[in-house]
Amino acid sequence: MSVRQTLLAILDQGPCYGYQLRAEFDRRTGSTWPLNVGQIYNTLDRLERDRLVEKGDVDAQGHVYWQITDAGSAEARAWLASPVERAQGTRDALAIKLSVAATLPGVDAVEIIRTQRRASLAQLESLRSATYAGADRDSPEALAWSLVVDSMVFAAEAEARWLDHAEQLLARHPDHALALELSTERPKRGRPARVETSVA
């Protein structure tokens, strides 16, 4: 998630001070992503350095209102108009854990999958039973909350499906036919060559 572009998009609606930005961020994400005010001020400082926002008026309570520049508005519009690019390769901790476990002699990768599935299904059940805490279930805040929580539900469902697939895949290789002993080859210095993945 880009805090930078999200704050720009909010500021494009009008000047805000730091705590106000945090409150607006919470309202617009259903309070599902905790964002501390220090992170907001750090981001604002970087945005100011990049000439995307500037300090404006100060009210009677000493709140400094930040306002967006033309360049900031252009960046906010470009962000909203662009698709979110998913990173190539995986940094998914579960996928890495299972791929390593499946190649380690003496490790029961299927049991790891079953343990994870129990935890994933418990999380899924918790997400499905979650309810919006606000009073007005037809409010924009309730809609924002639903969008984020529904995304988490779909991700948890996908993880459960992937765990089923992984268990079936491992079942084709009984008795750890995939187990790798430590290599006796000396690795070459430098980074390993990147494996390109493409989706047609």
Q: What is the pTM of this model?
A: 0.68
Q: Class of the 3-80 domain?
A: mainly alpha
DSSP string, 124-172: HHHHHH----SS-TTSHHHHHHHHHHHHHHHHHHHHHHHHHHHHHHHHT
Low-confidence ranges of the chain (pLDDT < 70): 1, 87-90, 174-180, 182, 190-200
**Integer CA distances (angstroms), 122 to 32, 108, 126, 164, in order:** 19, 22, 6, 15
For residue range 105-156, list pLDDT tens digits in order: 788 888 999 999 999 999 999 999 988 888 788 888 889 889 989 999 999 9
CA atoms within 13 A on the CB side of 180: 8
